Amino acid sequence: MSAFARAGRRTNLAILVVLTVAFGTGALAFAVGDEAAARIIVAGHGIAGLCLVVLTPWKTVVAQRGLRRPRPGRGTSVALAILVLIIVGTGVAHALGAAGPYLGVTAMQVHVGAAIVATALAAVHVWVRTVHPRRADVSRRTLLRAGAVAGAGALLWSATEATAALASLPGAQRRATGSHERGSDDPAEMPVTQWLTDHVPHIDPTGYRLRVVASGRSVDVPFSDLRGSDVVRAVLDCTGGWYAVQDWRGIRLDELLATTVGTPSVGRSIDVVSVTGYRRRFPLYDAGRLLLASHVAGRPLSPGHGAPVRLVAPDRRGFWWVKWVAQVEVVDAPWWLQPPFPGR
């Protein structure tokens, strides 16, 4: 009898826990901009993900047993297994440095896309292959075993980190968020990325106006009045797995408000809306840190990078950096009253 033959209910439950933690920390890794927090979350995510590799020998026994008696739901199980291979493969490839893009997509984009589909399939799989937790599952023994699995996952994670460092792979240079450097101080080499389905709009610069709204006032500002002289060096860190450091030049939002509609006396948040409808909401107290940029690295923004003006949101992930800004509006609603990630 092999060491893995006792595999069963608890293996499946362990996988359920690991999948949940991996998905949760993955989503968190995309939400945080702070480097110290990102370091912990991203390490925890890598360890959780690699625990799946640790559990594979036991799950293989379970799966072989299940495959011997074909019944509905088998296709889902097999598709799930293939997706998990892709998720772990792209995750490790990204961490080591093979980030892409390949044929236009990064390893990270495939990773997250596959993880979202896998989560749906896993829900179906758990539904059709129900496992009932028992009282006895919460014991000193399971705790020790769970600790051993987590420890082995941490070892595997350290091994990927050590491999990247010792072999001087590009992965050794990545940021706390896991992102790889691309096009710093050279915007032409920086990728043009849209969040999901948004696209570069055609904007006629002479007809362009920025609408600024606060305290019942609304002012349309031509581009010629938007040339600020504040320069901010900030990191654009895309959740697609790359980042770039640039000198951004423009006007701070607090100054923009003060010189157009006047410093707002009421309102809690600022809605920044793109020509395309893409939008993010920020707390009003951030206005002094947010830059409406017209220039990057000393040159006007290209259409792809947000011309005529785009938002620069230091310490926030790329999806906050609204491009092609059409409107800045002070609103009463709290900043957190919005989807955690944009919808387009």
Ligand X SMILES: Nc1nc2c(c(=O)[nH]1)N[C@H]1C(S)=C(S)[C@@H](COP(=O)(O)O)O[C@H]1N2
Point out which residues pair with 231 in neighbouring strands.
Answer: 249
Q: Which is nearer to ligand HEM, 114 or 301 (CB)?
A: 114
13 binds, among Mo ion, ligand HEM, ligand X, none (CB under 5 to 8 A by kind): ligand HEM
Q: How far is the CB of 103 from ligand X (least distance, A)?
A: 19
Q: Which stretch binds ligand X (CB under 6 A): 44-52, 172-180, 223-231, 301-309?
A: 301-309
Q: Which is nearer to ligand X, 80 or 236 (CB)?
A: 236
Asked if 324 is part of the footprint of ligand X (rule: CB under 6 A), the reply reads: yes
3-state secondary structure the chain: CCCCCCCCHHHHHHHHHHHHHHHHHHHHHHHCCCHHHHHHHHHHHHHHHHHHHHHHHHHHHHHHHHHCCCCCCHHHHHHHHHHHHHHHHHHHHHHHCCCCCECCECHHHHHHHHHHHHHHHHHHHHHHCCCCCCHHHCCHHHHHHHHHHHHHHHHHHHHHHHHHHHCCCHHHHCCCCCCEECCCCCHHHCCCCCCCCCCCCCCCCCCCEEEEEECCEEEEEEHHHCCCCEEEEEEEEECCCEEEEEEEEEEEHHHHHHHHCCCCCCCCEEEEEECCCCEEEEEHHHCCCCEEEEEECCEECCCCCCCCCEEECCCCCHHHCCCCEEEEEEECCCCCCCCCCCCC
Asked if 195 is part of the footprint of ligand X (rule: CB under 6 A), the reply reads: yes
Asked if 238 is part of the footprint of Mo ion (rule: CB under 5 A), the reply reads: yes
Tell me the HSE value of 17 on the side-chain side, using a 13 A CA sphere. Answer: 15
Asked if 157 is part of the footprint of ligand X (rule: CB under 6 A), the reply reads: no
Q: Which is nearer to ligand X, 113 or 191 (CB)?
A: 191
Q: How far is the CB of 238 from ligand X (least distance, A)?
A: 3
Q: How far is the CB of 104 from ligand X (least distance, A)?
A: 14
223 binds, among Mo ion, ligand X, ligand HEM, none (CB under 5 to 8 A by kind): none
For the segment 165-204, give every residue that binds Mo ion (CB under 5 A).
193
Asked if 274 is part of the footprint of ligand X (rule: CB under 6 A), the reply reads: yes
Out of 111, 281, 305, 316, point to the residue binding ligand X (CB under 6 A). Answer: 305
Q: Which stretch binds ligand X (CB under 6 A): 36-44, 114-122, 123-131, 270-278?
A: 270-278
Asked if 118 is part of the footprint of Mo ion (rule: CB under 5 A), the reply reads: no
Distance (Å, rounded) from C-alpha 151 to C-alpha 147?
6
276 binds, among ligand HEM, Mo ion, ligand X, none (CB under 5 to 8 A by kind): ligand X
Q: How far is the CB of 92 from ligand X (least distance, A)?
A: 23
Provide the edge-to-edge strand list for the sheet that holds 269-274: 217-222, 209-214, 325-331, 269-274, 279-283
- The closest alpha carbon to 21, from 49, 60, 50, belongs to 49
Asked if 307 is part of the footprint of ligand X (rule: CB under 6 A), the reply reads: no
66 binds, among Mo ion, ligand X, ligand HEM, none (CB under 5 to 8 A by kind): ligand HEM
Q: Which is nearer to ligand HEM, 10 or 295 (CB)?
A: 10
x/- mask, ligand X, residues 237-256, rule CB under 6 A, reads -x------------------
- Give the residues lining the site for Mo ion (CB under 5 A): 193, 238-239, 318
Summarize as ranges the residues that interact with ligand X (CB under 6 A): 190-195, 198, 236, 238, 274, 276, 278, 304-306, 318-319, 321-324
